Chain A
Amino acid sequence: MQTSQKINQPVVEKLDELLAPGQTYASVSAKIGDIVLYPVLKTPWGWIGGIAIAGLLLMLYLYSLATLFTVGIGIWGINVPVAWGFDIINFVWWIGIGHAGTLISAILLLFRQDWRTSINRAAEAMTIFAVACAGIYPLVHTGRPWLDYWFLPYPSTLGMWPQFRSPLEWDVFAISTYATVSVLFWFVGLIPDLATLRDRAQHPVAKFFYGALSLGWRGAAKHWQRYEVASLILAGLSTPLVLSVHSIISFDFAVSQLPGWHVTVFPPYFVAGAVYCGFAMVILLMIPIRKLFGLEGLITLKHFDVMSKVMLASGLIVTYGYFGEIFYAWYSASIYEYFLIVNRTVGPYAWSYWALIIFNVLIPQLLWFKRFRTNLPILLVISVAINIGMWFERWVIIVLSLHRDFLPSSWDVYNPSFYDWATFIGSFGLFFVLFFLFIRLLPMITIFEVRDLVHKTAHKAHDQKGH
């Protein structure tokens, strides 16, 4: 009795709280659940407008892919020597964005970071959709996409198998595994919330929909115990997985022998970069959503503050990588490595290298100051800058290494074509259509974990107050 009353009365207000004061089990469940459950006709205009625009972009995406299939890969700007362009740049960029989600939900779970609770669901969703956008690129960047199934090890009448020494083949396994595990992990996390929705829903259709998805979860103590074991295991699996995925993608380059690709530091440096722009994207998504659905109570400044710190840290690792590359170029005493840096800094594409330095190294230094970390408009700008910067990083790695490699005779330039841009911009359509559907149909914050947070906060407050 005592405690229950304590819970229902407001606990003492503290700065940078993870929860606005006065939250109860019921209030948070209602707050988050209602976003999904209230009637179709009451859907906010912001959401409708958003998905409409995204839908248009998706059309553009489908159009450019259709052209790609029928006319040929030549509609892109690629050539020899620059045989990879926007396709692989955007593939790596999207995959990178995905990583923040897994990191938040898995690694922070292992580290028992409470602040993950109100953002991990959306971040995981972002992961899955980003991986979808990324995964499409390697499939369509081939000259004969209708034969992509040759990447899979299946018993064919040809008696042929894939070539398991190729980093691209590693990608096939890494990305498919990553996508699968992310979806499973996400679904497991959803089960108790779906049950909540089932129990709160009024409309029979909603009840049926969420009821079926929740598999009949009823919160039995034994289930909870198994459930927590499973989540821990999945977190334990996802953590090395997420590290391996971007490492393997970095192998696409590191395993080759091109100056600027053949770099041993790539795996950690790619992973850090992925986290870097992943968090930027989370912030980018959270700031408007928080406004749109009035979630200030659940996603507080504290969240943004902590995420900014993570960005700053990973940003510094990336910066270290940039200086590392310059150092190797000098230390290797290889004319090719040396020329690579010269070409990056003063070559025809120098502007992109310096853009990378500005967006990825200089601007994020603002995050040292709390007043920028907690100033959402500025944080929004910084996040955009970081996403652009990380895109330029992939551009620099891929295009600047390819366009001037060993034989000066084969040096050439790369100009992205209309279809390069259309496919890239279109992929945002796919991403946001999925994301808008997600926030309308599924709880974008893990309800049961927030309830748990309410409980913890209450008890902390209680312990501090009492006796």
Chain B
Amino acid sequence: MSKETHDIQQNSGRSYWRSLDDLVQSSEFQERLAREFPQEAAELRDPVSRRSFLKLMGASMALSSLAGCQFAIKQPQEKIVPYVRQPEQVIPGRALYFATTMAVHGYGIGLLAESHEGRPTKVEGNPDHPASNGSSDAWIQASILTMYDPDRSQQIIKDGQPSTWAEASAALATAAAAAGSGIRVISEPNTSPTLAALVASLPAGSTWYQYDPLSADNTSTGTMNAVGSTNTIYAFDKADVVVALDSDFTTTGPTALRYARDFASKRRAHSAKPKMNRLYMAEPTPTSTGTLADHRLAVKASAVGSLTQAIAAAVGVAGVSAPSLSESESKWVASAVKDLQAHTGASAVIAGETQPAEVHALVHAINAALNNVGSTVRYIDPVGTMNTGINSLAALVSEINAGAVSMLVIADTNLVYNAPANFNIAEIIKKVPTVVHFGLYQDETSELAQWHINAAHYLESWGDLRAFDGTVSVQQPLIAPLYDGKTLIDVVAAMAGNASSTHDLVKNFWQGVTGTDGYAFDKNWQIALHDGIVPNTAAAATTPTLATSFKAPAATTDGLEIVFRADPSIRDGSAANNGWLQEVPKPVTKMTWDNTAQLSPKTAEKLGLKRGDIVKLTLEGRSVDAPVFVVPGQSDDTVVVHLGYGRTKAGRVGSSVGFNAYAIRPSTSLWHGAGVEITKVGEDYKLASTQMHTDLEGRDYDIYRAKTLDELINPHEEKHAHHEIISLFPEWDYSKGYQWGMSIDLNVCNGCNACVVACQAENNIPVVGKEQVWMGREMHWIRIDTYFSGDAEHPEIYQQPVACMQCEHAPCEIVCPVAATVHDAEGINNMVYNRCVGTKYCSNNCPYKVRRFNFFQYSDMETPSLKLQRNPDVTVRTRGVMEKCNYCQQRINEARIDARTQGREIKDGEVVTACQQACPTQAIVFGNINDPSSKVVQLKALEKTSYTMLDPLNTKPRTSYLAKLTNPNPELGGTHGDA
């Protein structure tokens, strides 16, 4: 038996990881991982069938021995496997943090990765990086799981046979030499300067295409037409009035984290004289940003053009005539314009990448007219390639058809799956003599390639990327590639006959750029690695000149309109095999494990459809079957479908989940188009939505408090007179020591799910699968509750993060018969897994229903690579125990122990919970409520807005909320769009 196999069997838990360094480099271990392969797709998602009857028997025995050696006669002898040579920074038992960079649509997001004895377990935003400001989102948080995904491609394949990098690189070089000018590389967008330089070194005539099914082509084209080749950057922290035209700017695109942070900074009304920005939003279907809007107008996607045109005309953009609008639309436009003009220089108009180029062009003109340019809108030299969408793919296709392509390298982009349906791309690719596929997975596209080269995950790679503002940051690996994966830089270098390592290539490139070397360079290099950014690399500002004439956007289409959108969780589908993203409930719909055909209540009624019906969607002769989901607040005559599902070769988790919307997505209407036919073909589709009921049932005051800014400034008398609730028992003394508490600002929460997945990564929360979610057994410790208030056509949409409230009068504790959940001296409601017998009584008695129960052995105790991801500071729960949020107890303990060994107090902000750390809008604040100077105390002191949930129950929660505030335009009245 190999040492590694031996380790994996002999050692579990923390002692096992010590052997990691050796494990990951050993070929035997990789074979072991490779052997993890074929299994029934459904099985991984269904823990019941995942293990056989007998194995389960074994599992329960094993677990019982975990639970204090109940069954085992004696403890088994365990091994300790220390390093052979211990890296000097590594201290076993202590985490290290390294700066690195992740690509989002090709742009760099600076991250800090947490590493335990050489294995990364979690990523956080890098506070010094302009694109992240220390925040992250669900996509970034989940990327760690992708790295450990056992279904990742684990070897180089030539014509279906395993091969080696030596052979591959040689073959690449010769093929490239042979192909000469016929070389074409198509990759997902990529801003790596090193890569660009390498591609340039390929034989003359060879071209590098970039394709992203979610590309912001419209934006760049529109910008090009209006102001020339430049990138636009908004400064929402300077904007008092924001008009978003179908733009979900706080959650989509490489700028989302930054924009969310800036936007939120203008929305906090904590001061004595509270001020707030005002957001006008026009969009076809509710998005995260839409839920923050003060005036949300649900319009067909094709109607946004006219709205833009109307605004443009109103603010006096030359040569633009006002189109005819519906009454509600013109009302919305009128007041928006008035507001904008009242805040010239302090307002911003932004259009979504899904809107046609004309709209973007007009938006530039509008911002200019409102002279926001220079204040809230900045222009910089272009970063990355302008053309990364349908046009570049079309160009490649025509080249192939013309027979100009003799060698095609398809890198990180799954063309066969995500190219427009009318391209029939598979056939086209087959025309190319030599096709090389490079990617993390063997996917739909890799089947067409002679060569498949398994990619290294970004946490395994050297590289460099530029942020949205041009800032360069270096990508440094946290771990040697688990499966000997390569980087795109390696591949291109090999084609250029350059055999040096990625690290050298990147380093040499920058030596060339800086023109320094030796100590001078190494010093800066080390600093860049440590800080995660290369100083002074931001793109220079430009002052472009505005075009003089503008094309009017296409008019609103009639009839049913289909709208294609990136899935809020798995986006373009490249991460379809990521269980965390599959299971995180999508904002607003709370759907998991599926995409749906979304209809507004009125339209659904008109079409005689209801939630769970199965419909056939037909567009341009192509059709797919989709389950119906009715979404309040969506525009009528609109059917919204999300891309990214219906993968056929994603892996055990992601294959055959949902339907493939790409299959009906034509290049002519990439984001929305008319002429879709919808016919009912079935019903009662199992939709695993985590929230069945979205009406507050008149419990607003106890659960979700919302007021307008005006009500906050001059409050009319409170209709709920707050009476003090007394307790028959004397109160426990919490006046001494650390007393932890949390405040969640509902006013800036857009329900983006960053906290949910961050918590999952931090606390080893298992994925349970669609069936279990459908049964109501999801495991997330923090969830985002969504409520709709007002009428179904134009509802207000509330997002409320809910985790354990750490009640001082915890109802769960008194009912536990074995004292498995009790209070500690710092006011945290401990959940002691190893004491829990599993009566579930605590959950029944929890008014917030934040407790989660392991109905089966949900945590995968078998797959080695998944065990590598686990946080060693948090117990991996076994079958039959209750679990819940504990304010990241492990982080508190670490901070306390450090502080006490150093003989000091914990500083405010020293303990940051995972959800708080991830939150892009900093809605979550955590700290010691006994420290009057702490931020959380100041927030809890805002008695006008601060409240605790269900306080009539006198549970005395430690988590409090800041009421949702809206800043409606008095002209429009009401508190929500169109009212």
Taking Cβ atoms with an 8 Å cutoff, the residues of A that contact B are 69-75, 77-84, 138, 141-144, 146-148, 150-151, 158, 160-163, 165-169, 172, 252, 255-258, 335, 339, 402, 404-413
Contacts and interface: CB of A to CB of B under 8 A. Distances in A.
Given A70-B56, A142-B839, A339-B697, A407 B849 contact: yes
Contacts of A412: 692, 776
Nearest to B47: A74
Given A151-B817, A407-B847, 4 more contacts: A79-B777, A83-B843, A143-B838, A143-B879
The 6 closest A-B pairs by CB, nearest first: A143-B838, A143-B880, A74-B855, A79-B776, A83-B840, A410-B849
B950 A80 contact: no
A71 B48 contact: yes
Contacts of A147: 64, 67, 70, 837
Contacts of A141: 839-840
Nearest to B949: A407
B871 interface: no
B816 interface: yes
Contacts of A71: 48, 53, 56, 856
Interface string B838-863: 11110111011101111111000000
Contacts of B64: 144, 146-147
Nearest to B822: A163
B698 interface: yes
Contacts of A258: 844-845, 847
Interface residues of B, number: 68
Task: Pick the most buried of A141, A142, A151: most chain B CB atoms within 10 A of its CB.
Answer: A142
Contacts of B847: 257-258, 405-407
Contact of B802 (A73, A162, A409, A411): A409
Interface string B759-801: 0000000000000100111000001011100000000000010
B853 A408 contact: no
Nearest to B697: A408
B912 to A, nearest CB: 26
Nearest to B698: A335
Given A80-B777, A169-B817, A70 B57 contact: yes
B96 interface: no
B856 A74 contact: yes
Contacts of B777: 74, 79-80
A409 B818 contact: no
A163 B848 contact: no
Contact of B818 (A146, A163, A255): A163
Nearest to A414: B776
A402 B47 CA distance: 26
Interface string B53-83: 1001100100110011011000000000000
A166 B814 contact: yes
Interface string B33-66: 0000000000000011000010011001001100
B819 A160 contact: yes
Nearest to B785: A409
B876 to A, nearest CB: 15
B836 A162 contact: no
Chain A interface, >50% SS class:
loop
Contacts of A169: 817
A358 to B, nearest CB: 28
Given A80-B849, A409-B691, A144 B811 contact: no
A402 B697 contact: no
A151 B820 CA distance: 11
Nearest to B851: A80
Given A147-B64, A168-B839, A83 B853 contact: yes
B695 interface: yes
A151 B693 contact: no
A413 B63 CA distance: 30
A144 B776 contact: no
Contacts of A160: 818-819, 835
A256 B67 contact: no
A88 to B, nearest CB: 9
B884 to A, nearest CB: 10
B694 interface: yes
B881 interface: yes
A81 B855 contact: no
A165 B849 CA distance: 21
Given A83-B840, A146-B71, A72 B697 contact: no
A411 B693 contact: yes
Task: Pick the most buried of B56, B838, B852: most chain A CB atoms within 10 A of its CB.
Answer: B838
18 contacts: A70-B53, A70-B60, A72-B855, A72-B856, A78-B840, A78-B855, A80-B777, A81-B844, A142-B838, A143-B840, A151-B818, A163-B822, A166-B817, A166-B841, A169-B817, A335-B699, A412-B692, A413-B692
Contact of B696 (A84, A161, A252, A408): A408
A73 B855 contact: yes
Given A72-B857, A169-B817, A406-B950, A80 B693 contact: no
A255 B57 CA distance: 36
A167 B841 CA distance: 10
B104 interface: no
Task: Pick the most buried of B56, B696, B775: most chain A CB atoms within 10 A of its CB.
Answer: B775
Task: Pick the most buried of A160, A252, A405, A407: most chain B CB atoms within 10 A of its CB.
Answer: A407
B776 A143 contact: no
Contacts of A162: 817-819
B632 to A, nearest CB: 14
Task: Pick the most buried of B53, B843, B857: most chain A CB atoms within 10 A of its CB.
Answer: B843
Contact of A80 (B63, B776, B800): B776
Nearest to A72: B856
Interface string B564-583: 00000000000000000000
A406 B844 contact: no
Given A143-B881, A147-B67, A406-B848, A256 B856 contact: no
A257 B845 contact: yes
B699 A408 contact: yes
A148 B837 contact: yes
Given A81-B843, A411-B692, A143 B849 contact: no
A290 to B, nearest CB: 41
Nearest to A87: B840
A143 B836 contact: yes
A72 B841 CA distance: 17
Contacts of B775: 77, 79
A256 B844 contact: yes
B836 A144 contact: yes
Contacts of B57: 70
